[in-house]
Amino acid sequence: MLLQIQLPRITLTAVLDIVAVAFVIYQLLLIVRGTRAAHVLAGILTVVVAYGIAYVTGLEALRFLISSLAPYSVFAIIVLFQSEIRRTLARLGRKRIFGGFQRLEAIDEILLALGTLSQTSTGALIVMERDIGLRTFIESGVRLDAQITRDLMLSIFMPGAALHDGAVIIQKDRAAAAACFLPLSVNPMISSQMGTRHRAGLGITEETDCLSLIVSEETGSIAVAAFGEIERGLTLEDVEQRINRHFGQPATRAKAPTRPGSVRETVESNR
C-alpha cells in the first residue's frame, strides 16, 4: 500500500507569513552581528544542539539537566541582551508618524563652537536628546539649564575648566547639564585608536536615540555618533546635515567655517 503524502497548500497568507518570519530573523542577526551578543547567541544554540543530541541518543541525565535550566533561560536572555533590546526599540522610533522636529535654534551656535573647538584641537562631547529621555545621565553631571551659546560651549570645554571632563547634554534649545558621565561602548568592532571620549559618545547612542557630537583632543577632527554608529573626520556641513537628518529636517548650509582635509571613517556596530 503506497503512502499518500499530502503537500501543504501554498497560499498568499503562508508566503507572507514565511517572509515576515525570515525578515524578523534577519533583523535579529543584524542586531547581534559584531557584538558580544553574537557569542552569547552561539552559546545558546550550542546548548540547544546538545539537548537535541541528548534526546536522540538517550542521554537522560544531560537532557534532564538542560530541560531543568530552560525555564530560567528567558530571564537570562533578557539580562544578557538588555543593551541590544534597548537599541532595537530605539531604532524602531527612528521614523515619526506625525511629522518631525522643528529646526533647533541652537544648531548655529553649536556649529560655531564645534568649528572653534576643532581648530584649537580642544576635546569636547555634546549629546543632543531626541525622544528617549536622558534624565539619568543629566543627574550624573552638573545642572545648568542655560541658553546654548558658542561662548558657553567654549567655556565648558576649556582645558583645565571644572566642567571640561564629561559630556554636555542638550534638551531642545537648552544646555541641561555638563560634566555628565556616559556609558562606554563595548562594541568589539570599534577602532583601537578611539579614546574614552569617542567610546562614551558612541555608547550613549547604543542605549538611546540621541545624537553625539565629538571633537578629538589629539587631532581636532569632528565625529558624529547615532544609533550605535559613528562617523569621523566630518566637516561642519556634514555635521549639520546629520543633525537635520536625525531630527527630521532638510539640510541647510552651515554658517560656521569648515575644517579642510577631513577624512571620513565609518564604524558600524549593527546595520
Residue with cell 525555564: 71
pLDDT of the chain along its 271 residues, tens only? 455 666 667 788 888 888 898 888 887 777 666 556 667 777 788 888 888 888 888 888 888 888 887 777 777 777 766 766 666 666 565 544 444 444 566 888 999 999 999 999 999 999 999 888 888 899 889 999 899 999 999 999 998 888 888 899 998 888 999 999 998 887 777 767 788 899 999 999 988 889 999 999 999 999 999 988 899 999 999 999 999 888 876 444 444 444 333 333 444 443 3
From residue 118, alpha-carbon distances to 76, 94, 133, 154, 213 in Å are 44, 29, 28, 11, 11
Q: Where are the beta strands (DSSP E) in the chain?
A: 124-128, 142-147, 167-171, 174-180, 211-215, 222-226, 229-234, 265-268
Look-up: residue for cell 542577526? Answer: 29
Residue 255 CB-half CA count within 13 A: 10
Element (H, E) at 90: helix 82-92
Which phi and psi (to 5°) does residue 102 adopt?
-80, 155
CA 76 to chain centre: 23
Q: How many other C-beta atoms are found inside a 10 Å radius of the C-beta of residue 133?
A: 12
Q: What are 233's three cell numbers?
A: 573626520
- Beta-strand relationship, 124-128 and 211-215: antiparallel
Catalogue all structural domains in the chain, each as residue range(s) with its CATH number: 12-80 (no CATH), 107-268 (3.40.1700.10)
Distances (CA, A) of 10 to 4, 15, 19, 74: 18, 7, 13, 33
Provide the 10 A C-beta neighbour count for residue 72.
Answer: 9
